[in-house]
Structure formats: C-alpha cells, structure tokens
C-alpha cells in the first residue's frame, strides 16, 4: 500500500460516534468538516462536527496544523536564546510566554528581580492582556456579524503595538523580557504615552459595551447558550476567563502573586452561570481591571535598575565593554556559550489572557535547557468546546468557539 | 508549595496506604515533588486528589536520557483552596513505556496524555482515544525524545520528490 493511501486509511480512525439516531428513514446524522482553513476557527483548527439537522451532537477538534516543534527547538538553544522561540507559541500573548519561561529559569537560578523590572514587566503584561482581549473582542464580534467592532478594537490594538514598538523596537514578539529583568529601561515619553492610553481605554471599553450589550442580536446569540458548569470545567482542567465566567474566582495574579502583582489593587471579574454571555462579560470587564493595574504600576514605578546585576547571567552594559576587560569576558562568555543553570526542574505558572500558562523547564547543568514544556491554556481549554456545544445549534458553535478564544499557535506550539 | 516537612508528611501518608507506591521526595527551590512507582499512579493521584490537590494543572513528559528509566510523566497537581502545588513524577523505561491513564479522574487529561504519547511514546492504558495529536497520524518516531535528531525531516524538492513520502500524490 502506498504511503498516501495508507495515510487516508489511518485517518479513518477519526470516527464519530455513529450510534443510530433512531429517527426513522427521513432523518440521519450528517458529518460536517469545518476548517482547517475557515475564518470562524480563529486559526488552523479543524472540527469534525456531527449534526442532526442544525443541532450539533458531537464535535472532534483536530489540531497540529501549525505544530512547529518549538519545545524541541528550545532544547537546542542556550537559555537566553530560547526566549524568542518560546515567545512565538501563543502569538497573541508573547509577553506572557516570555514571562513564564524567564520566570522558570530565574527560579532555577535563584535570581532576584529588581522592583523596577517587575513593574515594567507588569505594565507590558497588562498591555499585552488588553491587546489580546481586543483581538478576541474584535474577531468574536465579527463572528457574530458585527463588522465595525473589529475596526474599533484594532484601532486600540494599534495604539498598544505602537507602545511595544516604542519600548522594544518590535511590534510583536518583542523579546523585551530577559532573564533577570527587561532588556532596556523605558524610553523618554513612553510613560506619558501609556498614561494617555490608560486614560482613554475605559471610555473605549464603555463604547464597546454600548455597541454590543444593547444589541439584541448579540444578546440573543450569547445569553444562555452553551452553558457549562464549574464542576465540568474543573474536571476538564479549564482555567482563565472560561472558569471565572462559571463563577470560580481563580486568578493566579491574586491566588499566587508573581512579579509584584500583590502591590496592585484590582478585582477579578466573575460570571454567574457560565454561558457565552458571561464569558464575554468577564473578558470585557478585564479590560478595565488591566487598565487599572497599568495605571498603578506606571505611577508607582520604583527607581533602580531594570535588570538584575548578576554578571554571570545578565549581559554587561554596553558602555562597559570599551573600558572593562572583565565586562568584555563576561559578554563574550554569555554570547558564545551562554550561562549554565544548576540541575533541577521548575514549573512556573502565570495567568495569561486565556488561563494558566505554565512553563516547565528541566535544567541538566549545561547551558541549554534539557526540556521546555508550555502548559498552554488554549490547548487544554479547547477540550471544553465539545461538551459546551453539545446539543446546541451550529450557529452557537461558531459563537462558542469565539468565546473559548483558542490561539492555535499556542495549541499546536 | 508544602515545605520540606509538609512534603515528607504527605509522602508518609501515601506510604501508609501503600508502602511501595512512593519512591522518594525532592524539595528543591520551592518545588515539591513526589516520585512514585508507575504501577500505582492512579491510586496515589486519587489519594492526593482527595487530600485537596484536586486540579490537574499540567501533565507532561520528560526524557532523562541517558539516565534510566528514561521517560518521566509529570503531573502538576494544584490545591485551589490552599493554593498549594505538588508535582508527582513517575518514571517509565523506553522498552515498556506504559502507565495508567488519569482520564478517569480528569477528563481534561485527554489532550495532554495524547501529547505525551505523541512526543515521547508513553502509552497510557485506559485512555479512550490514544492517537497522535500534534504530529501527522503516519509519523514515525517520538520527536521529543532526546535521541531523536533535529532536522531529520527530508526536505522535498523536485529532484527528490519521487524518493519520499507523498510520491504517489
């Protein structure tokens, strides 16, 4: 048997439960393929849906279309050179990927992060959270038929990307977070621009709410659709806004604060029943809370260094290279071999826009990580789609997929 | 995290129920880890779940090449009430990489176990649908193992397309 037809044969193992529908000769179950290239799947996600008329009886997600072996690639890189690789997993929350990875390596090194670096990290993390939620809100509204929301959300997203460009030189995959802190202090004028954005954002979020929450179509598409209770969600290991929408106030920023989150005053928005409307409201409310955190971090930004002062791990300042032999040696050692991390393992969880993003790093004493694993929330949360959409209309499947907010770069890694 | 003493107490509790189940404990840089025998993994995890560690935060594989047994399956358990984490690790060999599935306790272990099978070749007994998840279904080998070469995929050009996979398309 040839390879290609062999593949088709093996693909037959993707079967749907085809128990007899018991509906007589006039009714039958229809298996419908959605994706992998479909605008409503928010990436390269393929769904095999079993339909009875317009009602979804079962779906099977098929993933792996954008699997690029990032975890394997990270094992071939020195610790600090793996940061740009892991950033590209979940392409909407690159600061979070970098934070989880850097946090894990810093824990293994026992490195103390200066307060200013922690605050700068918080500012960028929360800007990133708003940015990610804006992409979610715009594309979700698009799925519900509201075209204009997309442009409004992307207008604010552009403002955030401009801020990222200002602080790091890149709009996406910025490599701003380093092991030990951040690569550079924020430039002059950055704080004022962030402040302007922070002052404006709540009004913008109000306007989104005005557009969507009084919209009869949006309300009837979201309310009481695809509800899933918290026990099921916990059994499926779902975290993030999906779990909070079902009424569980679980947020790692509050539960187990990292990077100085305990210094800030913010609330965790929770839903009540866990339908699509709650999922929408929780994320929308997080826009305000993130804005509050940025405001507090910006105005309470401590003075001091932006990166740790451990020359065995952190690159020496550029100006020292011309005058200090020792700095030159450190620079040379770091850029060529990298630094070594003492043997050990670490699991470092943070709260990403989609839930618990945990980075597992195993160090074997060499200059390269022996294992990097990302527990990506999109990957785990995607499993909840099937129980959510069971016995609801296929139109609700599209809305639910939008509210689950999977990022396929993070699912496939 | 439980501290060193708390971890040891936890391990003692597990040993009291089944002396052979716990192989050892490690407390290192804030990470509490219990090494268990792969044979009794579901019973131990079920006991920890009743003890409060009721959320499976993550499940992933590790390859300890060249140390034996090579493959590790790590369960990151979380107690949401006490905000406490404990890692449970079971090591299996590459010759007999079998361990019982925890999908009976958490249906959400489905995808992570499939990923672990896909990347490391660990077979989870009792998993309802153990297939490759990220790699193509006809892929051979387990790419995350440490002895799996990087760049081992042939790149197809016009001159060699007839020699490789997909030649009859």
3-class SS letters over A250-267: CCHHHHCCCCCHHHCCCC
Of A95 and A42, the one with more pLDDT = A95
Is the pLDDT confidence value at A14 over 60? no
Q: What is the share, in percent, of chain A residues with pLDDT greater than 90?
A: 55
Q: What share of chain B is helix, strand, coil (3-state, %, to 5)?
A: 25, 25, 45
> Minimal Cα distance from A254: which residue of B?
B83
A32-46, A388-402, B83-97: the lowest-pLDDT one: A32-46
- Residues in chain B with CB shorter than 8 Å from the CB of A383 are 107-108, 110-111
- Residues in chain A with CB shorter than 8 Å from the CB of B74 are 347, 360
Pick the CATH number of A70-388 from 3.40.50.970, 3.40.640.10, 3.30.70.60, 1.10.645.10: 1.10.645.10
Does B76 contact chain A (CB < 8 Å)? Answer: yes
pLDDT tens-digit series, residues A250-282: 999 998 899 899 999 999 999 998 899 999 999
- Residues in chain A with CB shorter than 8 Å from the CB of B60 are 360, 373, 375
Q: How confident is the model at residue A310 (pLDDT cuts 50, 70, 90)?
A: confident
Q: How confident is the model at residue B162 (pLDDT cuts 50, 70, 90)?
A: low
Mean pLDDT of B128-143: 86
Is the pLDDT confidence value at B52 over 60? yes
Is the pLDDT confidence value at A8 over 80? no
Does the bond joining B84 to the residue before it have cis omega, within 30 degrees of 0?
Answer: no
Mean pLDDT of B109-130: 91
What mean pLDDT is reported for chain A? 88
Is the pLDDT confidence value at A15 over 80? no
Q: How confident is the model at residue A179 (pLDDT cuts 50, 70, 90)?
A: very high
Q: How confident is the model at residue A1 (pLDDT cuts 50, 70, 90)?
A: very low
pLDDT tens-digit series, residues A128-167: 999 999 999 999 998 888 889 999 999 999 999 999 999 9
Can you tell me the distance from the alpha carbon of A302 to that of A295, in angstroms, rounded to the nearest whole number? Answer: 14
Q: What is the largest CA-CA distance in chain A?
A: 87
What's the pLDDT score for residue A9?
61
- Residues in chain B with CB shorter than 8 Å from the CB of A3 are 138, 165-168
Q: What is the share, in percent, of chain B residues with pLDDT greater than 70?
A: 90
Is the pLDDT confidence value at A11 over 80? no
pLDDT tens-digit series, residues A186-243: 999 999 999 999 999 999 999 999 988 888 888 888 888 888 888 999 999 999 999 9
Q: Which helix (H) or strand (E) holds A55?
A: strand A55-62
Does A358 contact chain B (CB < 8 Å)? Answer: yes
User: How many other C-beta atoms lie within 10 A of the C-beta of residue A28?
Assistant: 13
What's the pLDDT score for residue A299?
93
Are residues A360 and B57, on separate chains, in Cβ contact within 8 Å? no
Can you tell me the distance from the alpha carbon of A7 to that of A2, in angstroms, rounded to the nearest whole number? Answer: 9
Does B66 contact chain A (CB < 8 Å)? Answer: no
What's the pLDDT score for residue A10?
55
Which residue's structure tokens are 């990489």? B97
Mean pLDDT of B110-128: 91
Mean pLDDT of B71-78: 92
Are residues B111 and A383, on separate chains, in Cβ contact within 8 Å? yes
Of A114 and A22, the one with more pLDDT = A114
CB pairs under 8 A between A and B: 122
Q: How confident is the model at residue B153 (pLDDT cuts 50, 70, 90)?
A: low
A112-126, A348-362, B6-20, B25-39: the lowest-pLDDT one: B6-20
CA A110 to the chain's CA centroid: 26
Q: How confident is the model at residue B139 (pLDDT cuts 50, 70, 90)?
A: confident
What's the pLDDT score for residue A2?
47
Non-local (6+) Cβ contacts of B142 within 8 A are B118, B119, B120, B121, B148
Mean pLDDT of A350-363: 93
Q: Which candidate in B109, B138, B142, B147 is best for mutational testing of the A interface (most A CBs within 10 A)?
A: B138
B11 — phi, psi (to 5°)? -65, -40
What's the pLDDT score for residue A145?
84
Is the pLDDT confidence value at B166 over 60? no
- Pick the closest to residue A100 from A359, A409, A413 (CA basis): A359
Strand B31-36 relative to strand B84-92, pairing: parallel
Does B62 contact chain A (CB < 8 Å)? Answer: yes
Question: For the sheet containing A355-363, what is the strand order?
Answer: A344-352, A355-363, A369-375
Paired residues of A56 in beta bridges: A51, A392
Q: What ranges do the domains of chain A cover? A: 70-388
What's the pLDDT score for residue B140?
81
What's the pLDDT score for residue A363?
92
Is the pLDDT confidence value at A13 over 90? no
Is the pLDDT confidence value at A16 over 70? no
Report field, pTM of the whole predicted structure over 0.95: no
What's the distance, Cα to Cα, between the start and end of chain A in Å?
A: 32
The answer, yes or no, to whether ipTM is higher than 0.85 is yes
Rg (CA), chain B: 19
What's the pLDDT score for residue B169?
42
Q: How confident is the model at residue B2 (pLDDT cuts 50, 70, 90)?
A: low
What's the pLDDT score for residue A12?
57
- Residues in chain A with CB shorter than 8 Å from the CB of B132 are 64
């Amino acid at each position: 048997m040839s390879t290609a037809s062999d593949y088709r044969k093996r693909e037959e193992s993707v079967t749907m439960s085809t128990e007899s529908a018991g509906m007589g000769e006039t009714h039958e179950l229809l298996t419908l393929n959605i994706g992998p290239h479909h605008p409503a799947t928010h990436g390269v996600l393929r769904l095999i849906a079993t339909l009875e008329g317009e009602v979804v009886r079962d779906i099977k997600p098929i993933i792996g279309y954008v699997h690029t072996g990032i975890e394997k690639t990270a094992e071939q890189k020195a610790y600090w050179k793996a940061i740009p690789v892991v950033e590209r997993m979940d392409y909407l929350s690159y600061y979070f990927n970098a934070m989880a990875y850097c946090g894990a390596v810093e824990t293994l090194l026992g490195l103390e992060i200066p307060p200013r670096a922690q605050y700068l990290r918080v500012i960028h993390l929360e800007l990133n959270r708003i940015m990610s939620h804006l992409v979610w809100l715009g594309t979700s509204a698009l799925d519900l038929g509201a075209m204009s929301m997309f442009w409004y959300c992307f207008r604010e997203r552009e403002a955030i990307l401009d801020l990222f460009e200002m602080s790091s030189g890149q709009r996406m995959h910025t490599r701003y977070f380093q092991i030990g802190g951040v690569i550079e202090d924020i430039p002059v004028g950055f704080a004022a621009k962030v402040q302007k954005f922070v002052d404006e954002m709540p009004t913008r979020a109000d306007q989104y709410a005005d557009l969507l929450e009084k919209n009869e179509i949006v309300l009837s598409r979201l309310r009481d659709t695809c509800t899933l209770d918290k026990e099921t969600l916990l059994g499926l290991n779902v975290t993030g806004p999906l779990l909070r929408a079902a009424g569980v106030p679980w947020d790692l920023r509050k539960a187990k604060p990292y990077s100085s989150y305990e210094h800030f005053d913010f609330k965790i928005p929770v839903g009540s029943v866990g339908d699509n409307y709650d999922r929408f409201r929780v994320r929308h409310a997080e826009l305000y809370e993130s804005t509050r955190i940025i405001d507090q971090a910006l105005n309470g930004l401590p003075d001091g260094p932006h990166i740790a002062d451990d020359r065995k791990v952190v690159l020496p300042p550029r100006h020292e290279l011309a005058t200090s032999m020792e700095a030159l040696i450190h620079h040379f050692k770091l850029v060529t071999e990298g630094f070594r991390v003492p043997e050990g393992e670490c699991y470092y969880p943070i709260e990403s826009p989609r839930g618990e993003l945990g980075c597992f790093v195993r160090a074997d004493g060499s200059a390269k990580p022996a294992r990097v694993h990302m527990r990506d929330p999109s990957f785990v949360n995607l499993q909840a789609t099937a129980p959510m959409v069971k016995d609801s209309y296929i139109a609700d499947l599209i809305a639910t997929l939008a509210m689950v907010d999977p990022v396929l770069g993070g699912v496939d890694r | 995290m439980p501290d060193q003493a708390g971890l040891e107490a936890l391990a003692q509790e597990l040993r009291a129920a089944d002396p052979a189940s716990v192989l050892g404990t490690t407390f290192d840089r804030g990470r509490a880890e219990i090494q268990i025998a792969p044979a009794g993994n579901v019973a131990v995890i079920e006991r920890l779940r009743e003890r409060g560690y009721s959320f499976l935060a993550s499940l992933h594989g590790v390859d300890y090449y060249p140390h034996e047994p090579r493959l590790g399956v790590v369960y990151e358990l979380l107690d949401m009430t006490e905000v406490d984490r404990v890692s449970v690790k079971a090591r299996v060999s590459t010759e007999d990489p079998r361990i019982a599935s925890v999908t009976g306790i958490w249906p959400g272990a489905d995808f992570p176990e499939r990923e672990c099978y896909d990347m490391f070749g660990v077979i989870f007994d009792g998993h309802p649908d153990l297939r490759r998840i990220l790699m193509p279904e006809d892929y051979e080998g387990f790419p995350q193992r440490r002895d799996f070469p990087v760049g081992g995929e042939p790149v197809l050009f016009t001159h060699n397309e007839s020699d490789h996979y997909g030649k009859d398309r």
